[in-house]
Amino acid sequence: MNPAAHDSGMVSERVRERMVERVREEGVRDQRVLDAMERVPRHVFVDAALSSRAYEDSALPIGHGQTISQPYIVARTIELAIAGVADPRRMKVLEIGTGCGYAAAVLAQVAGQVYSIERLRALHDLARANLRSLRLSNLHLVLGDGFLGLPAQAPFDAIVAAAAGADVPPAWLEQVVPGGAIVAPVGAEVQHIVVLRRDATGRVMRKVEEEVRFVPLRSGVQ
């Protein structure tokens, strides 16, 4: 191995550890999520011009009016999705909005099967390229309209969204198992992470979490 490349790898590993420590300090406590964050090289998913900022706890542009989510938010939404689950490796999870693929990669470290749907072909292709070197056999990328969920693979144990709508689309509620969680940003001017759970009778329980800022949820495929 080229010594410079080895040194660079060690540096990125150390800064990734510091990023995860910041995420922990901000309130994420699930060690399974923190371990997953530490395993995924975030710099692989950002533009080369922004690589020096890859491990900042901030959102960064990835083109097409979209962003790679803040590490804390990625960790927090996954933590909420698997809350109370003894073995997340038994879970089948749907991510709405693949973007550059980073959150999907982290989710695939935690859950048994992950389906991630993206409506923009350019981002779908970008995520596929970004993820190739990680060889995540349990992660399945889909080009499609996330507003409709992914009925062909339903039901899911959890659905995690990376775009904010006025409310959670009814299709998502129909595609999650009783007791399963939907974790999604909701709102326009002011957005909050909302966790929805549907019980066996069909009753939906709703819990509002922290304020966030996400790109808007849109329908259709481009």
pLDDT digits (tens, 9 = 90+) for 144-193: 999 999 999 999 999 999 999 999 999 999 999 999 999 999 998 899 99
- Mean pLDDT calculated for residue range 31-59: 94
**207 is a domain residue:** yes
**176 is a domain residue:** yes
**172 is a domain residue:** yes
**94 is a domain residue:** yes
Looking at residue 4, its pLDDT comes to 33
Q: How many structural domains are present in the chain? A: 1
**218 is a domain residue:** no
Rounded alpha-carbon distances, angstroms, from residue 190 to 57, 166, 213: 21, 10, 8
**222 is a domain residue:** no
CA angle 45, 48, 53 (to 5 degrees): 75
% of the chain residues with pLDDT over 90? 85
**8 is a domain residue:** yes
pLDDT digits (tens, 9 = 90+) for 61-106: 998 889 999 999 999 999 999 999 999 999 999 999 999 999 999 9
| Catalytic residue ranges | 69
Element (H, E) at 95: strand 92-96
**91 is a domain residue:** yes
List the domain range (segments joined by +) for residue 113: 3-212
Q: How confident is the model at residue 5 (pLDDT cuts 50, 70, 90)?
A: very low
172 vs 3, higher pLDDT: 172
Output the domain CATH number for residue 185: 3.40.50.150
Spatial separation of the C-alpha atoms in residues 32 and 83, rounded to whole Å: 11
